[in-house]
């Protein structure tokens, strides 16, 4: 069975601080995808990144970066120099990757509040 754990329920930081959101996953699949989605107060889930299990390279996109470590089954997300607009609930998700489209298994989310 697949499972995603986001141990941090809520995080509060002051603007311009760096913040890391943790994600730990469990799967028996050897091939899988990991995702991060952002859910702002408006409620619509916004796709941020997809990572294939074969690709352990870290990725940076502007102020966002992701650290994928298969050895610890973690896929952590760091926001550098946080801004108030980063305030949202962030979800980590997992799907299998060998049988076509598959549903996402989500963690419970981490609510990030960035205070001005």
Q: Which stretch binds other proteins (CB under 8 A): 16-24, 41-49, 62-70, 78-86?
A: 41-49
Q: Which of 109, 93, 99, 108 is nearest to 33 (CA)?
A: 93
Specify the residue, 13 or 45, whose C-beta has the smaller distance to other proteins: 45
13 binds other proteins (CB under 8 A): no
97 binds other proteins (CB under 8 A): yes
3 binds other proteins (CB under 8 A): no
Taking the C-alpha atoms of residue 105 and residue 34, their distance in angstroms, rounded to an integer, is 10
Taking the C-alpha atoms of residue 57 and residue 43, their distance in angstroms, rounded to an integer, is 30
Specify the residue, 1 or 116, whose C-beta has the smaller distance to other proteins: 1
Residue 4: CB minimum distance to other proteins, A: 8
Residue 15: CB minimum distance to other proteins, A: 25
75-101 burial, b if ≥16 CB within 10 A, otherwise e? bbbbbeebeeebbbbbbbbbbbbeeee
Residue 78: CB minimum distance to other proteins, A: 20
């Amino acid at each position: 069975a697949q499972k995603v754990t986001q141990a941090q329920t809520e995080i509060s930081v002051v603007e311009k601080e760096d913040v890391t959101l943790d994600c730990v996953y469990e799967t028996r699949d050897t091939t899988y995808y990991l995702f991060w989605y952002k859910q702002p107060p408006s409620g619509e889930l916004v796709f941020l990144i997809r990572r294939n299990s074969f690709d352990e390279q870290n990725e940076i996109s502007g102020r966002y970066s992701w650290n994928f470590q298969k050895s610890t089954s973690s896929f952590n997300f760091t926001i550098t120099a946080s801004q108030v607009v980063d305030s949202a609930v962030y979800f980590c998700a997992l799907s299998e990757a060998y049988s076509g489209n598959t549903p996402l298994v989500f963690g419970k989310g981490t609510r990030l509040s960035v205070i001005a």
